């Protein structure tokens, strides 16, 4: 499944745990590998209510999977 902005995603952490996040981008080329820009649900909602862009971080695309599409 292709990931796109606003999708609910699950990311795998370095310690092999998982976390629910929101995609802020589709898969895109980072400096050296493919990434998806993501943020927490709390940051996504805060920014939406404030009319701002959420602050996100790049996550390795191979560690992101879509849970729900927007």
13 found inside a domain:
yes
46 found inside a domain:
yes
Record the pTM.
Answer: 0.91
Tens digits of residue pLDDT in 8-56: 999 999 999 999 999 999 999 999 999 999 999 999 999 999 999 999 9
1 found inside a domain:
no
Q: What is the mean pLDDT of residues 50-65?
A: 97
Residue 68, pLDDT above cutoff 80: no
Question: Measured in whole angstroms, how far is the alpha carbon of residue 10 from the centre of its chain?
Answer: 8
55 found inside a domain:
yes
> What string of DSSP letters covers 9-70?
EEEE-TTS-EEEEEESSSSEE-SSSEEEEEE-HHHHHHHHHHT-PPP-EEEEGGGEEEEE--
**For the chain, how many structural domains are there in total?**
1
The answer to whether the CB of 56 falls within 8 A of the CB of 47 is no
Q: For residue 44, give its domain range.
A: 8-68
């Amino acid at each position: 499944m292709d990931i796109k902005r606003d999708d609910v995603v699950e990311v795998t952490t370095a310690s092999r745990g998982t976390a629910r996040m929101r995609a802020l981008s589709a898969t895109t080329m980072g400096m050296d590998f493919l990434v998806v820009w993501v943020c927490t649900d709390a940051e996504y909602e805060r920014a939406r209510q404030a009319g701002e862009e959420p602050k996100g971080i790049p996550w390795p695309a191979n560690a992101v999977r879509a849970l729900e599409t927007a």
